[in-house]
Amino acid sequence: MRSQRLRRRLVRQLVAEDVLHEQPWVQAFATVPRHVFLPRFFVPAGGQWAAVDRSDPGWLERVYSRDVLVTQLDDDPSRWELARATGSVPGTPTSSSSMPAIMAIMLEELQVRDGDQVLEIGTGTGYNAGLLCHRCGSGSVSTVDIDPGLTAAARERLSTCGYAPTCATGDGALGFPTGILFDRVLCTASVSTIPLAWLAQTVPGGLVVTTLNRPLGGGLVRLIVGEDGTAEGRILPRDGRFMPLRAHRLPPHPAHLPEPSDVDWRPTGLSMSEILKPRRHFEFFASLELPDIHPVRIEPDGTFALSHPDGSWARTRRTDSGVEVAQGGPRALWDLAEQAHHRWDSLGRPDRSHFGLTVRGDEQTLWLDNPETGLRWPLGGT
């Protein structure tokens, strides 16, 4: 069958990308039919979103691509029908089937053992729950999503594939609705702080894997839960970004910034990409030293600026002689960024693998190298 050939191709790609290694997960990706969970979705269309379903040419190839596939806009399931009827629509993605690569990374980082009870936060399409069921057995997997429509559809699709995990509808930030204890908790959405309910539902020594929802410096974290509901672990070196849980969405940030005058610009040795791009290792440290800084996309050229809720801002531009910056507002954001870069350089340019996170109730602290003696920053910013 064509779907089987495409699944095998996807597995080869994930292995070649060095994100899929363990044979049980190789078998899961090779077996679980992703197309059952993605009968329809959205694709980008000139700044908006077009509706695609199984009747469209190339649908199956898209399903087994390495791309994230958006399945919902604006928390509104009717948006797909509208796009199908009238053409592409604007909207903000609120549910998706994640890139298979980041799914593979997170599943392997979960370090599942035979017999582990696993909780998935964020059922979505159900595909990731299907992978967990193939590896762990349906009786060992529970999954929860806040959207009852998503939960119902996922349950039906999972049943079609022969899987029957325990599916529940509820706020994933509150954990699972019943008092089950889990060995592993995997959240396929991002969080601004670690929900304490997850730690309360995880056995001591169990693992929690999730992603951090931050304007800068997001990415994967794995925590080991302690005896008293505390947790500690490391920021994982492989990057991954997810849509946030609804309860953890960041407030909208104004996109309008002042237009600098000619006299506002000065030379700088620091580029905007150094601050904003995760593959430039300064990005994570910059997020710690510059809390509450947001990247802002400037239209129509698509460049980015920095802004702060107090009205401060900074913009850069390239000239024949190099990079220039302009800034304004109550604080000089770019001066702070340059100071942070100098500090990062003096510390040996640590990448994200040098950082960790400690959770003790509402005190959630990021640290460099050592939780007791290293530099420390509050997870929630200032």
What DSSP letter does each residue of 211-239 carry, written as one string? EE--SSS-EEEEEEE-TTS-EEEEE-SS-
| Pair of tokens at residue 33 | 């039919």
Task: Report the DSSP beta bridge partners of residue 325.
Answer: 266, 316
CA 326-288-290 angle, 5° bins? 25
Phi, psi of 41 (to 5 degrees): -170, 180
User: Which candidate in 96, 98, 192, 287 is catalytic?
Assistant: 98
Contacts of 82 (CB under 8 A, 6+ apart): 89
Cα 326 from chain centre: 31
Task: Report the DSSP beta bridge partners of residue 317.
Answer: 324
| Pair of tokens at residue 42 | 């959205």
Rg (CA), the chain: 22
How many angstroms separate the Cα of 37 from the Cα of each of 94, 142, 240? 17, 17, 22
| Pair of tokens at residue 179 | 């008092």
| 287 is an active site residue | no
| Pair of tokens at residue 232 | 């500690």
The secondary element (H helix, E strand) that includes residue 70 is: strand 69-73
| Pairing between β-strand 313-319 and β-strand 376-378 as defined by DSSP bridges | unpaired
Q: What amino acid positions are annotated as catalytic residues?
A: 98
